[in-house]
A and B are shown apart, each in its own frame.
Chain A
Amino acid sequence: DIQMTQSPSTLSASVGDRVTITCRASQSLSGWLAWYQQKPGKAPKLLIYTASTLQSGVPSRFSGSGSGTEFTLTISSLQPDDFATYYCQQYHSYPLTFGGGTKVDIK
């Protein structure tokens, strides 16, 4: 199974900050990585797929990069609506696996 490790697990930031979340895979994903945002009591929402493609309707302050085993999600200027938990997910092979999540909270 491909293990997905996210860091940090918690991140405290202020509105306007640039935020970066890292996701590392135990083997190469060839770019088959997605990022999701989840707010308390809600279903996750797809933000980015194939490592760097922005899902339709997602604000451009979100971006993804990386290849192989290391990937990043960047929020260029954190907005109040962005305080949430973020997950990466690999779809290189079965079983599909998620990272443990990164909670972004208010500093």
Chain B
Amino acid sequence: EVHLLEFGGGLVQPGGSLRLSCAASGFTFSTCAMSWVRQAPGKGLEWVSGISGSGARTNYADFVKGRFTISRDNSKNTLYLQVHNLRAEDTAVYYCTKMVGGTIANFDYWGQGTLVTVSS
């Protein structure tokens, strides 16, 4: 059974940093592209960033503008999102997702999400 467990969220001040992690199990992690998708309180879904199975290819939403870095450690079956220079508008639940096929794909499995709150 596929399982995605995110952690690392929390309360951070504007301008601060966090590293989100996602522990994956139940599938061959190294062969699957992964993404982070976020959802601000009471709002819709917004794709943030994606990475290929090998980690060689990464993609980002325009609003990331160099502030976020996606990475993975296939030896640990773990996906990461390093976020810097956080703004109030980055407040959201961040979901780790498994992608179907390549890096331009839909998401067949989602974690339960980790909440990032940016506030002073």
Contacts and interface: CB of A to CB of B under 8 A. Distances in A.
Do A and B pair up? The answer is yes
Interface of A: 1, 32, 34, 36, 38, 42-46, 49, 55, 87, 89, 91-101
Contacts of A92: 104
Given A94-B59, A96-B47, A98-B44, A46 B104 contact: no
Query: 4 shortest A-B CB distances, which residue pairs?
Result: A34-B106, A43-B110, A96-B47, A98-B45
A101 B44 contact: yes
Interface residues of B, number: 21
A43 B107 CA distance: 11
Nearest to A89: B106
B89 interface: no
Contacts of A1: 62
Contact of B108 (A46, A94, A97, A99): A46
Given A49-B100, A96-B50, A98-B47, A91 B106 contact: yes
